[in-house]
Structure 1
């Protein structure tokens, strides 16, 4: 690892930003800042090499559609990227990164990515499978003591959301603890205790139910087998090989600059608050990571095509099971939805969507600085639907309203990284 990356991830990451957005300078690695809040602006990125911009008519349609979604959902700010070989690229920012200052969203801003963390944790687990150190059909009881049904639940069932273990982030006491002191740290054992006080929901493998508890356990397996802290194992064995030098797994509330401010209504008062500096340790292996547009663009392809895994293990990952939602399946830490492969994320203040369409080798990334639902629907889902109706009408990223236990882990009752669920 280069010295500059060590500085950015370890030394610089130790500085928690205290509510102030520091804007990028002109000519940063990811393009010039957007000219003004609430304006859609093109953003040239060096990662666009080989991609012309989408034709003017399609770009204009996307601009109009996304402005409408911005207005409808009252999302403060959005970063959007679409890349499709043979069609072109579309990179835009909309709205504000900081409502207090009016600073605009820009393409180089770091964002909390919630449950997209699961794709990194499960990739780390599957690398250990490829190394012959664990087996997908090992029971969790081999690695972690005192798990309900631990002698029956397999690692495969945990990664595929079919364990039956209660989702700790839906526990009322957990929600009170988080919202009463959102900067406090949580340990994996504390999180598991919130889950294990509840009865199991169904027999292992009998059903699909999104649960962050599963990923906390898998994170502990990675640590037990590798002998390394999860954040360091992921850095050295997932981020570095994938070339993701603007992605990190924070161990506390650290949030390197530049980043957007994030806004949530998942609060003790129910009022909208700034959640930027909330400690994401409560999400840990299920939802604590940070990234940006360009790294997620690359990660979408890596995770969907299995660059870091053997073909056999990647095939296991993509072997999806039904979720109860038409057109949607869940594999091992990854979902498929009408042809798109990837994951979304939601935790207080932020939402993200990173998906890849193998049929067209197309990539879609959406980053938002709020997790506030609109009429029961997640904003990232509405953005994904609006974009794909235009750029991939045969593969629309669509979930019906109130789709219960869906592969889109971003809402109460569907596994969001909010206090009432987890994404």
Structure 2
């Protein structure tokens, strides 16, 4: 079990805005990382983390929540990280690779992070803006061919989810599952969303995978570099995320030690919960700059903690990425908003979603560093169960008592653990055990 808070293995991260790739790895809490240029640089100091496990009672509640989500979604395995700076950590793997493969899940396994990729794509956008390569208000057709009708849509609209463009997911889901090895040109994949009727641009948030695919294409064209190179230069190397990358498009597992990815075959009246289908080998082009990145649980936690605090930008850089969120939908709670490639859930900033085989969520509080990350190895129920589980875990962990010598900050959430435990149970696609079992 790991007890490292994301980012605590380095005390300061210093990196040139124009050459973030120069940042080197670190292994000690107090080690200072410096880029190759002392000028035009910034530093990131994560909050201090208690070097201890969360109390047994808290850990037991967290484990029960994860196990409930596994049963209801048909997942055989999960990897979870919870970092409470004033109390302790809980990072663990639960379950097995599959019904047939009883290999136990470990925390070093890699997996696809689904829509958390969107945050990284927006990191690249803001990095290129800070480096004077592109402008936030640049028109999409300036960098992407074949979309002249998007002349009033900007790169910032694509990042913020305010382009009005639809989502391709519903149209191509079956093709993803049936031909996981297929390599998708990003524009072809985006075209399914582009074919849907748009909504009001600029003032309405719309969950659109097509928007982030187009943004990835635009950033490649503007920089002359591949999306994989851009994410490495602007995200993974500066933050020392050694287990994180956007792989090439050839179908492959998400790493040498991979968490298996599964989905449940549809049957009359529901799903075959006892015989999940393996889809661990997949082309990353299925997600590209919307949902194609792979990572580990420690990297994912460290990443969302840093980006929630906008650590990859100079302090005070304008415009503020998360300063003007919009409601996720007209029916959403007032505390549930979106912008900058992320969701704002009360004080938490993060993302959640699914990609074939995996449902992933990662959220962090930029003020305290309180962080939760989770992946379930079954994507059949979509991304909502991962989000609800992350929020349930956050509600449980937020009440963890302060460790000896520590003081808990004023930190609260606008929802309860019971609320999202019930939401997961209500949306079960596989039978839950009777109460008391």
Pair 1:292-2:300 in alignment: no
2:404 corresponding residue in structure 1: none
Deviation at 1:288, TM superposition (A): 0.8
CA contact (8 A) 1:169 1:212 kept: yes
Q: Is the 8 A contact 2:49 2:85 kept in 1?
A: no
Per-residue displacement from partner, 1:117-171 (whole Å, max 9, x unpaired)? Answer: 1111110111011112222122112222332632111111111111111212232
1:168 aligns with 2:177: no
Instruction: Using the TM superposition, name which of 69-78 and 356-365 deviates more.
Output: 69-78
Deviation at 1:65, TM superposition (A): 3.3
| TM norm structure 2 | 0.74
> Helix, strand or coil for the counterpart of 1:53?
coil
Give the whole-Å Cα distance in 2 for the aligned partners of 1:221 and 1:382: 33
Q: Distance in 1 between matches of 2:354 and 2:196?
A: 26
Alpha-carbon deviation of 1:50? 4.2
Range that drifts further, 294-303 or 62-71: 62-71
Q: After the TM superposition, which residues 116-265 of structure 1 pair with which residues of structure 2 at under 5 Å, given as runs? A: 116-147=116-147, 149-171=149-171, 174-196=172-194, 198-252=195-249, 253-255=251-253, 256-265=255-264
- Assess if the C-alpha contact under 8 Å between 2:263 and 2:278 holds in 1: yes
Match of 1:321 among 326, 337, 356: 326
Alpha-carbon distance in 2 for matches of 1:368, 1:202:
32
- Aligned partner of 1:3 in structure 2 is none
Change (3 A) 1:331 1:397: farther
* Aligned alpha-carbon RMSD (Å): 2.7
* 5+ long unaligned stretches in structure 2: 1-26, 28-47, 400-411, 421-426, 428-437
Per-residue CA deviations over 1:214-270 (Å, capped at 9, x if unaligned) read: 111111111111111111121123211110111111112233210111111377997
C-alpha distance in 1 between matches for 2:164 and 2:388: 29
The DSSP-based 3-state class of the residue aligned with 2:158 is helix
The alpha-carbon distance between structure 1 residues 282 and 57, as it changes in their structure 2 partners (threshold 3 A), is closer
> Residues of 1 paired with 2:308 and 2:115: CA distance?
16
Give the aligned length.
351
1:342 corresponding residue in structure 2: 350
Q: Which residue of 2 aligns with 1:94?
A: 94
Gaps of 5+ in 1: 1-28, 30-47, 402-410, 412-423
2:117–2:291 CA contact under 8 A, matched in 1: yes
Instruction: Report the alpha carbon displacement of residue 364 of structure 1 after superposing the two structures with TM.
Output: 0.7
Question: How far 1:179 sits from its partner (Å)?
Answer: 3.5
Contact 1:75 1:379 in 2 (8 A): no
Instruction: Give the structure 2 partner of residue 309 of structure 1.
Output: 313
- For 2:144 and 2:320, locate their aligned partners in 1 and report how far apart those are by CA, in whole Å: 27
Deviation at 1:398, TM superposition (A): 7.4
Q: Secondary structure at the match of 1:209?
A: coil
- Of 115-124 and 377-386, deviating more is 377-386
Assess if the C-alpha contact under 8 Å between 2:112 and 2:293 holds in 1: yes
Whole-angstrom CA distance in 2 between matches of 1:333 and 1:181: 28
- TM-score normalised according to structure 1 size: 0.76
CA separation of 1:222 and 1:263: change in aligned 2, threshold 3 A: same
Return the offset for 1:56.
2.3
Find the aligned partners of 2:266 and 2:113 in 1 and give their Cα distance.
19
Displacement of 1:341:
0.5
CA–CA distance in structure 1, aligned partners of residues 415 and 181 of structure 2: 34
The offset of 1:53, in angstroms, is 1.0
Alpha carbons of 1:335 and 1:286: their partners in 2 closer, same or farther (altered >3 Å)?
same
Q: In the alignment, is the contact (CA less than 8 A) between 2:363 and 2:390 conserved in 1?
A: no
- What is the CA distance between 1:92 and its match in structure 2? 2.2
| CA spacing shift, 1:277–1:391, aligned 2, 3 Å | same
2:96 aligns to what SS in structure 1? strand
Inter-partner Cα distance in structure 1 for 2:280 and 2:132: 40
